[in-house]
Structure 1
Amino acid sequence: MTLQYTSPSTIPKIVADLRASFRTHRTQSLEFRKEQLRALQRGVEEFRGEFEAAIKADLNRSSVMDVSIVAHTIQGTLDKLDDMTADRETAGLNELDKSFVRLSPLGTVLIIGPWNFPVMLVLDPLIGAIAAGNTCVVKPSEVSENSSAAVTRMLTKFMDPTVVQVVNGGVEETTVLLKERFDHIFFTGNTMVGRIVMEAASKHLTPVTLELGGKCPALITEHTDIAVAAQRIAHWKTLNAGQACISVDYVLCPKNLQEDLIKSVIGVWHEVFGKDFRNSDSYGRIVSKKQFDRISKLLKAAEKQNKIVFGGKSEAGNLYVEPTIVTDVTEHDELMQSEIFAPILPIINYETFDEALNIINGQEHPLSVNLFSDNQDQINRDESLPFGGVGHSGMGRYHGKYSIETFSHSRAVMIRNQSGL
């Protein structure tokens, strides 16, 4: 399936038309927003099968989770929209005044989606933007072209074109798009492109939400239930073939627990995918040759150092990378220099809990930290670790009411009593 790119010359008019539409105040109406959400709901349901086929073609995995989460989010937003957008009363200058905070839509916003979850991570922020009363330009990823084409067809068919428009393309089209002035830019992707988005936004003083990633660690302690930890680590490392922003990037593990952990992780993988991962219908593939080549370099570096203890096979023809475990990893190894975004699991040994914390804190802020322990003192210590979208892992937040707040301005309103000054 070929993704039809948008002509760069049409992009300024697309943005201008959406901005003009916003200024008609149509999207201020809660009922209008609900109509758009219901239209999106119908579109997601009708295109469920097409999304499934597209994601299978792009990434060789199921889209059940993606579509289910989007459908659940739409319904939840519809159910609670009145409450989530209601004015919040607050104290005024005196008891005779009426003061409240009102969530006002920002205007015309840009949503740039990623290729790893090309349906869910485009439509999920769009739900919040629509619910908040904005007009929206949606830019799906050109890498996952089958999924992006399906999203484009669905949005074009079901959404009001004066509210939602889709722009498709690569670097050229995105560059032209980022030259336009938006009232908010929501970007999901890697840190390098996040910098480009933020620099472009700064020229118009446009606020941004950056959902990035980072090297998310899993910390194994002497107080860990190895079976439970292995189950969760194995799942996250192979979800979408490791191409997920909150995938476990590396494991910190005491040396004496390493063998049991490795055996348990391999056991989970074999239970889920069988002995031959390549022939499993549920094991994903790398999204593109460019990404495959990047991952191959990491595998070759680890193989050269004789550090691969499980897996390591790959096939360029079908973009297959076997789940791989690498041991004796240090902070200086190539695997530790950037987010892996692949089914490769490095294990770093440590001696003391403080040493493990120092290794984590020596990296850029991750999007998540996974601590496996039933020791309350260690759990309390974990509160000092960096967590969430901070620095290189991003900024801002969304989901549920936070999506609406992200795409809104909290406007202070005070109605003075007529007898006041």
Structure 2
Amino acid sequence: MANQEGHRRFGNVRKLPSGRYQARYPGPDGRMRSAPQTFARKAEAEKYLTLIEGQMIRGEWIDPERGKIRLQDYAERWITQRPNLRPRTVHLYRWTLGRHITPHLGEMPLNRIDTPMVRDWRARLLADGTSVTMAAKAYRLLRAVLMTAVKEDELIRVNPCRVVGADQEKPVERPVLSVPQIFDLAERMPDRFRALILVTTFGCLRWGEVVALQRCDVDLSAGTVRVRQAFVEHRGTGLILGPPKSRAGVRTVALPKAALPLLKQHMGEYVGGAAEAFVFTGQAGRTVWRGSFNKLVKWSEAVAAIGAAGLHFHDLRHTGNTLASRAPGASLRDVMARMGHDSPRAALIYQHTNREADHGIADAMDRAVKAARRKPSKRKAKRVAEGGKPAAEAS
């Protein structure tokens, strides 16, 4: 390449009145383009042109005009066009985008976002009080959006989300209830919600899955519940009944035998005779919203009374998952299928899971329940001493 200004084999460099240097080059269509920035030294501008020429030779060059779309506009389009997103996920993505991403990076063209900018954005989130977990979720969303811009739409050459560790969450370790605590918590619930606690915990179910169970999904003879749908709460729309969180979420789960008497009693007292009757509802027969459940059952007081203050409802599923993983003889794929894990690998494994193995997990959990309940709890012993019946017998 020639070194004289304006006589290069590829592109040209000229000195601007400001003293900085501008690099210009022809694209494959013959139209001249300018580098997005000017350079303090001529050698830097020439190096830039050499890199651009190399990209064109290797077929890696991307027209910078394509990457001038604002991040906010592109991300909104990304969410809208993303296939098979559940309404809850769309809502969460839009909330995360508007809360944590677009206020900082939304006006930036895609091709102007670089790794230092992403690193600064994440640092500002953390400095402003955003939790590490939430910052990681926002980072993963941004990375997914920009990965599509790289691989599918070819708007930018590389994904600038390359901050080591930024995608990792550090959630607080959630509590795991003991078997006596599970039954104690169930006893402290209003009668129509006692079985809900046992089915959720021992069935490893999500809230949306357990409240979407219908009579036709419960097989008391086999001791199983079938998960085939889930409720999603969407503000402004209401409760939406749809498929579970993933394909692996469609599953049949065996319950420990110790949970079946209370479930059978519940089915007889609170569930309509029609096959489509929902199993767990409020007094008016309507589906209970997750946001109103805690107040309805005085959740804070109940969990504090069993020595688990701060326990979340979702921790019941966590407890069930933990008990299942401890069951002797349960393989990793058996446990993942029981949980309805949402990874593609778990979904594939679920399709080949042995139903007998799932019953084995339930039987092992049942033995743990019986062993833990042989010794009366202090609360039950006190009731007997006072001349009353234990709650399990009274119900």
Q: Does TM, normalized by the shorter one, top 0.5?
A: no
**Higher CA-based Rg:** 2
Going by fraction, where is helix more abundant, 1 or 2? 2
Q: Which has the higher strand share?
A: 1
Return the structure number with greater relative CO, CA threshold 8 A, min gap 6: 1
TM-score under structure 1 length normalisation: 0.28
